Structure 1
Amino acid sequence: MEISGIISAVVIGVIIGVLGRLVLPGRQRIGVLWTIAVGIVAALLGTAVAAGLGVADTKGVDWIEWLIQIALAAVGVTLLEQFKARR
């Protein structure tokens, strides 16, 4: 992976992670780095799921792929927050 691919993955991870947190009610007690990490993982998994469903490559903006990624980020933030609350 080239440096531009890594940078774009981080930027997209930030966006997906923040959007994932925004769709959840209340305050999430995880840090910025965890938000970025969850966003990157959700973006990668969301792309794979969208490709599996055949909706990853559409004309224009891939809204369904974005929604899948944001939903996965919301689930990831929720799971991480519950895990950290137990500790």
Structure 2
Amino acid sequence: MPIAVDIDVMLARRKMSVGELADRVGITPANLAVLKNGRAKAVRFATLAALCEVLECQPGDLLRWETETATETEDAADG
């Protein structure tokens, strides 16, 4: 998928755990893991807004677009 999720980066910058972020945003740790690991097919704007509020960031700090070829190259290297 050409959308990369950088929640890990913001968690590290804020020295926050996945569990704490999930609790403060109001979603389950399992749902946050799906989003964080790039397996989500969609994200609600309300959830994105809550993530940005808790992490004190902009949506672009959490999500970025990558070309399909870059994503395919990374997938090939992983597999």
TM-score range, shorter chain: under 0.3
The structure where strand makes up a greater share of residues is 2
| TM-score normalised by L of structure 2 | 0.26
Give the structure, 1 or 2, with the largest relative contact order (CA under 8 Å, sep 6 or more): 2
The structure where helix makes up a greater share of residues is 1
